[in-house]
Structure formats: structure tokens, C-alpha cells
Structure 1
Amino acid sequence: MSDTAAAIETIEFVARSACRAEILAALASDGCLSRANLRDRFDVSRTTVGRNITALEDRELIRRTNGGYVATHTGKAVAASFGDLVETVEVATKLESIVQWLPDEGFDPDIASLADVEVTLAGEGDPYAPVNRHEESLRTIEEGRALLAVTGLSPMRTLAERVEEGATFEAVVEPDVAETFRSNPSYADCYETLVDTGRFELSVADEPIPYSVVLFDDSVQVGLEDDDGLPRALLESDSAALREWGTAVYERYERDAERLV
């Protein structure tokens, strides 16, 4: 059997039983545990615990010691890798609903950084749910930066109110968005209010923006639109890793953008 085939077989062996995977993970993270400890922790029968312990022992993933069982070096490595695999699949499953809106290129955060992301989807009964959630976040912002592929009047008004109250905001936008700010009468008043505060900066990107990124005080939002520019999903997280990714994306566009205000 090849090394790859053996590895896949081991993954399959662990994955066949949720109880088996949980026992291995517990022994790998917590050290020595007795059969009674394991029964109480996972609320399973003595038979179930015994059967899985024997199976793990036979694979040399755990071993008996004074007072109970511990994971072997191999068992610890398998538990860590299996845990990463489970987390990756969980995230991928969670994001199935937005895959169709992801750009073909340029969306490349570490998938682990999306583990705790909250997803707000546009629906038939609430097509602007992502926009509404974004606007709700703007109401309490103190300092923010945004990379915007599209805009909306209601969030613009909320942003203008917050900046008037003392918040600061920087934005890098598509040329069409900048033109809307300056020439559309519905937006012009808000835009002038923002500019007059001296706490608003606006730049125009020199390349298309495939998705929106908004960096709040301690969180990040990623907005996904369809080919017509309609909002489809909003991803939101306070993950440090995702915020770091979003900051890098924003700064890359800002570096080459043309400053207007």
C-alpha cells in the first residue's frame, strides 16, 4: 500500500465513527483519560467506548498507560490533521450558499479565517438584507476604511451622519461610484457633508474592484455582488486573520488609487 493510500485509509478509519474521532481528539489535547472519563465526557455506553478504544489501540493511535489512555505521537499528529480537515469541510459547507457570488480570481483568504464568519444573504423577501446589515454596522463606527465596488444611498446617509458626529472614514471606490457621489443629486449632499468634515478621504481605484471590503474598528465585512452589481451576500467577522487579509487587500488598492479628497 502506498503512503497516500495508507493515509487515506487512516482518515477513513477515524471518520467512520464520530465517537472514535472525539476520543482521539480528547486524548491528544488533554492527555491521560480513563474509560470512565471518556464515557462521561461523550455520554456513550461502556461498550461503545471500549470498542473504539480497542480500534484506536490496534491502529497504534493511542496506548494504555497508568490510569487510562494517551494518544501516541502518531495519534496526536492524526488528531491535529483530522481536526483541520473537519474545520475546512465545515467552513466549505457553510459557504456553499455564496460560492456562486465569489469572484473567479482575487478572493484568497485562508479558509480557516472564515470559520466564524457570519453570512447575511439577500432573499426574495429581503433582497437588501446585506446592505441593511452593513448600514447597521455603520451606525456605531468610530474609524473605518472601505473598498467599494458599489454604493447605496441609505448607507451613505448613515455614514455622513456618523462622520459629522466625529467618526473618520477612508474609501477607495470604482470610478462609477465616485461619479455617483459627485454628480447624482441624491448623493451630492451627503458627499459634500462628508468632505466638509475634513474626516473623510476618497480615492478612485485604477482597476476593477471584484468585491467590497469594509474595515471597522474591530471587525471586517466582505460584500459580494452579482454581475449586475446587486448585493447578494455579506460576510462579517472579527477574526484577526480575516481582518489582516482585508487590510492587505484594501492597502493594495489604495496604494495605486488616485486621491480625490
Structure 2
Amino acid sequence: MDPFGEISFLTRSENRITVLETLAGGRYTEQELTDETGISDVTVKRAIDAFRQRGWIRETETGYTTTPVGELLAADYRRLAGTMDVACHVGPVVDLLPVDEMDFDLRLLSEARISDPDDVDVLEIVDRWITLIREADRLEVFAYRTGRIVAEPIYEGIEAGTLELEAVVPPSELEQIRSDPTTREFKQKIIDAGGNYYLAPEDQPKPYSVGMFDDLAAIAGWGSDSKPQVHLESRADPIVEWTRSRYERAKADAEPLTAEDLEP
């Protein structure tokens, strides 16, 4: 058999994939497969016959089940599907995210919440940040840009005693804060209310932010116009560990900022 031809045989039919994956999860009769998958009995029978000929499944007294070859094929297809899902979601914005630094299995990103790379909505991304800020008890962030819009809910949370803030900013963001009186005033109020800002020694090569909203990891990529272009969030342990580690590395080299330090 031609491997590429067999890959094409399986993947060009969602019904075949569904039948194979269902059988990889248990033992089914033809009727049970039809009931479980919602696929017609004719289509199920064709798939079963084709799979039996290829040695992917076998018939038992109580129904059909995958052979070790079929189990391997189903597992590898799931891995490929997960990888392709990451490629579809992350591929278009790979240059905006610190993918080269991520030491976890990138397939985990297929289960992350990621903003639509084909329909970038800056306000939607910012609104999501505001929601996360208002829901969090503690925010730890290494921020490429902070902005006046998110400064207000941060200040409100700290002033109300419902939010703790630890934020590391690069030199370029400090200059942005100093040049914008409204943003500067909010940041100074945040510091006076008990929030903590730190200055990183230098800007990072790629403009991105990482943050921990309690136990939720968030990563954002920024465009050349200093506007957010992509936002992803996850509670998967490896992603959380990487995000927290990246923030802690940034903070370890940073110096505390006072309200007076924000003055031009």
C-alpha cells in the first residue's frame, strides 16, 4: 500500500475518521456505531469493511474494535490534528509571539483561547484584558505596553483592596508613560494606592507581554503600531509554568519604580 494514498483515504472523509476514533475508544457493533456517531448505517458499514481489509480493526463476538495498528493510527491522527489546529491558529501570528522561547509542547496551544488571527479586533482584546483584571485577585505581568485603558480598572481594583499588582515594564514603556500625562497620572495613583511597578534593564527584541491573572496565563503579541494583535490564555500547567517563569526572570533583573520616577 502507498502510505500517502492511505493518508488521503482516511483524511478526505470526516466520517471515516470519526468511526476510527470511536472504535479506538471502545467496542461497538455496527448499530451502536451508527447510534453513537450519527453516521448512516451504509457509511458505517463501508468504513468498517475498508478498515478490516487494512487491518485497522477486527471483529469480535461483541462488536468491532481497533487493532494495535488502528489504535496507533487513531492516536497519531489526533496528534496531527492538534498540530494542524496550532498551525492554523498560531501560524499567522507566529512572528508576534515568543514561540521560539516556549519550551512546552506547542500542541497545548490548540486548547488555549486565542483571538482570531484573521479578524484582529484590538478593542475586543483590550476588553478581554479588562474583564480578566476585574476578575483577578492578583496580577503579575511583564508588559510591553500598559496603556491608559487598562490602568483605570487596575487602579479601581487596588483602591478597593481587591487586586494586587506586580508589573515589570521595559524602558520604552517608561518613556511612553512619561510622555502621556493621563497615563502617567493613573500609574502614579496605582503606585500610591499600593501597586508595584518595576523597570526592566532593556527592551526585549520581540514586543510581547506575559501575565498571570491568578492561575490563568496570558500572552499577547504586539504589532509595529504598538497595538495588540493577538491574545492567548490558558490554564494548562506547562503554559502556566512557562509564563510565570518568564515573568519572574524579568522581575529578577528589574528595579522598583516610584511615582516620582514616572515624571518626565
Question: Residues 144 and 194 from structure 1, CA distance in 2 versus in 1: closer, same or farther, beyond 3 angstroms?
Answer: same
State the Cα distance separating 1:260 from its structure 2 match: 3.2
Is 1:144 equivalent to 2:139 in the alignment? Answer: yes
Is 1:217 equivalent to 2:214 in the alignment? Answer: yes
User: Corresponding residue for 2:171?
Assistant: 175
| TM-score, normalisation: structure 2 | 0.84
What does residue range 155-194 of structure 1 map to in structure 2 within 5 Å?
A: 155-166=150-161, 167-181=163-177, 184-194=180-190
Is 1:247 equivalent to 2:244 in the alignment? Answer: yes
**Aligned with residue 31 of structure 2, among 18, 24, 36:** 36
CA distances 1:99-148 after superposition (whole Å, capped 9, x unpaired): 46446844665322222333346999964332232123212221011111
User: Corresponding residue for 1:87?
Assistant: 82
Q: Distance in 2 between matches of 1:109 and 1:194?
A: 34
State the Cα distance separating 1:200 from its structure 2 match: 2.2
Question: Residues 86 and 149 from structure 1, CA distance in 2 versus in 1: closer, same or farther, beyond 3 angstroms?
Answer: same
CA distances 1:20-48 after superposition (whole Å, capped 9, x unpaired): 2111111112x211111111112222221
State the Cα distance separating 1:73 from its structure 2 match: 1.0
State the Cα distance separating 1:249 from its structure 2 match: 1.9
Q: Where in structure 1 do 4 or more consecutive aligned residues deviate above 6 Å?
A: 122-125
The letter of the residue matching 2:168 is: V
Equivalent residue of 2:135, what SS? coil
Instruction: Indicate the percent of aligned positions where both proteins have the same amino acid.
Output: 31
Counterpart contact for 1:215–1:221, Cα < 8 Å: yes
State the Cα distance separating 1:187 from its structure 2 match: 2.6
Q: Runs of 5+ in structure 1 lacking a partner?
A: none
User: Corresponding residue for 1:228?
Assistant: 225
Counterpart contact for 1:121–1:130, Cα < 8 Å: no
The letter of the residue matching 1:139 is: R
Equivalent residue of 1:64, what SS? strand
State the Cα distance separating 1:89 from its structure 2 match: 1.2
Is 1:75 equivalent to 2:54 in the alignment? Answer: no
User: Corresponding residue for 2:7?
Assistant: 11
What does residue range 190-201 of structure 1 map to in structure 2 within 5 Å?
A: 190-201=186-197
Q: Distance in 2 between matches of 1:185 and 1:123?
A: 34
CA distances 1:196-229 after superposition (whole Å, capped 9, x unpaired): 2334242324341531112101322222111231
Aligned residues: 256
CA distances 1:75-103 after superposition (whole Å, capped 9, x unpaired): 11111111111122123223455346446
Q: Runs of 5+ in structure 2 lacking a partner?
A: 259-264
